A and B are shown apart, each in its own frame.
Chain A
Amino acid sequence: MTGHKQMKDMSISIEEIKKPENRIYGKPSLLTDNVMHYCPGCSHGTVHKLVAEVIEEMGIQDKTVGICPVGCSVFAYNYIDIDWQEAAHGRAPALATATKRLCPDKYVFTYQGDGDLASIGTAEIIHACGRGENIVVIFINNGIYGMTGGQMAPTTLIGMKTSTTPYGRDPKLNGFPLVIADMIAHLDGTAYITRQSVHTAPAARKAKNAIRKAFEYSQKGIGLSFVEIVSTCNSGWKLTPVDANKWMVENMFKKYPIGDIKDILK
């Protein structure tokens, strides 16, 4: 409001304000106008925007191929204006492997949730890391299966209630959470592994820098770059968006701490 008042006082016309050089924020041009199917408060929308911004700012729209998973982000191809392949559940790193090896000049990334990547797709992600594929993996970890209605994921926290752990995840019955980023950090084929979040503006800025770094690393021929985004699923968690953010900070970050895990160029 202060800004508006100042502008009024300085008698700047609306036409002046609309000039590109005076804009401080805009929708990335690579984000389509399709209405997102994501629930209000979900992290996917923010991460999509960050990916679109990075591709736009790097000027690589015509050199980028994205691979969608099965899960909530199955329709990512409706929202970011690049070429996309829609993989079978968990198989995105296999598609990305062939795409990158056959088209080495392309920027190739997968966008996968925790059900897709950490459960049914463990073989594909581990071996893509093991082979050191020069791809980017964006890993959305919200500890739950969103699309199918809130079932337990491999990343579900101990005690967390889901539709298939209605009394809370019990390690005796359901086992322990998988911490994928730390697991793959031990593999020689990974170059950059980081864990980020997008629940605040500073967090989103850091996540964007991480995504950009991952894209840049993927053209250096030094191995796989992996950006985990610890995310909210307020519908699945049965929390308001604000409470979901709070719950994530208080609970998810303990098991999945934010920060860089590996960077072979540092």
Chain B
Amino acid sequence: MAEKILMKGNEAIAISAIRNGVDGYFGYPITPQSEVMETLMKEKPWETTGMVVLQAESETSSINMIYGGASCGKKVMTSSSSPGISLMCEGISYIAGAELPCVVVDVMRGGPGLGTIQPSQSDYNQIVKGGGHGDYHNIVLAPASAQDMYDFVDWGFDLAFKYRTPVVILADGIIGQMMEKVEMHPMKPRRTDAEILEAAPWATTGKPAGRERNIITSLSLDADIQERFNRKLKGKYEIIEENEVKFSEYMTEDAEYVFVAFGCSSRICEAVVDELRAEGIKAGLLRPITLYPFPFKEIERLSKQVKSMMSIELNLGQMVHDVRLAVNGACPVGFYGRQGGNIYTPEEIVSEFKKFNGLA
């Protein structure tokens, strides 16, 4: 029986980083995710696994520390919340352009601007559609529990190194602050120098005689070279879209109405489905676990069996556009959201669902 510990989602990120052999964490304090760095500093992993933990002077600097660390083939990560992530987007674009692996955690809060410090899901467009400049994607994982926060760190690094691309764990203030039991998996040691050379032969580990120098860059002044590179990235994204989509379904088999919700909203929508089922309404839930790649095919399939679908998000309606793309007119698509850090109750969603479907 694996050990289970009660902890916050933010703490789970930190503990998972230590236990999964992460080499470095570089961050800057911001609510509601400061517990990530606080936990790391308290745990002092530099004395146990040798993991480097550093408080940077800004999010701009911390993401560029990630760029430097990732350039060395190390498993490096940072975390922040929405306004800090905006600052990081420049660096994330460079990381995507230089084809470097890293994990970034965004514990979303209400925006735009300084916004609020309460939970929100309003960075969907920013993170799923890119965020920084240029043609690129992040792989985006949407945790819905403290356990997911723990598990997605390791999964995120697997994907990041497999595709040499930034991976964002797109959490929110609820998932970051909520305490739940988390199952600890066996410790994974940090990679040895030899293992890094094997996993990342492109890394700046110091040029020995007999190999070409390794250059980490996102620069090319030649339009044709840049276009070839953009098409190479596109090819990589097509492979990711083909192979890495992950979602879960709840009571969709015979569903006549399907909710689409990610992260904390998917937890709330499970309760909504239960309430509607208790009333005899055949409701179900599709939870995208990866937001990029997005489960377009799955939603398209469900759209052909249901009377309607509804996207439930803590924002003004961002993912709903992807749902509509997937549905492509096959059924009506509704939306209900709360903003600014407010959170819907299941009853509120039931009532909005009934209004939308003329069942009230």
Contact = CB atoms under 8 A, between A and B. Distances in A.
B215 A127 contact: no
Interface stretch (A60-68, A209-217, A219-227, A246-254): A60-68
Given A81-B213, A87-B67, A88-B67, A99 B60 contact: no
Given A81-B213, A84-B216, A87-B67, A102 B76 contact: yes
Interface stretch (B176-184, B202-210, B254-262, B327-335): B202-210
B207 A95 contact: no
A74 B52 CA distance: 28
A77 B214 CA distance: 9
A103 interface: yes
A65 B91 contact: no
A95 B71 contact: yes
B207 A81 contact: yes
Nearest to A86: B217
Contacts of B60: 91, 94, 123
B53 to A, nearest CB: 10
Contact of B56 (A62, A94, A96): A94
Contacts of A99: 68-69, 71-72, 204
A7 interface: no
Contacts of A67: 68
Contact of B68 (A74, A83, A95): A95
Contacts of A83: 204-207, 213-215
Interface string A106-142: 1000000000000000011011000000000000000
Interface in B26-46: 26
Contacts of A77: 213, 215, 217
Contacts of B72: 65, 98-99, 102-103
Nearest to B93: A88
Given A102-B72, A102-B76, A95 B65 contact: yes
A236 to B, nearest CB: 19
Q: Which of A82, A91, A94 has the most CB of B within 10 A?
A: A94
A173 B249 CA distance: 63
Contact of B71 (A85, A124, A127): A85
B209 A62 contact: yes
A165 B90 CA distance: 29
Nearest to A74: B219
B58 A82 contact: no
A63 B68 contact: no
Given A85-B68, A86-B219, A124-B61, A97 B54 contact: yes
A67 B76 CA distance: 18
A101 interface: yes
B218 A106 contact: no
B69 A98 contact: yes
B204 A94 contact: no
A74 B58 CA distance: 24
Nearest to A106: B206
Contacts of A84: 204, 213-217
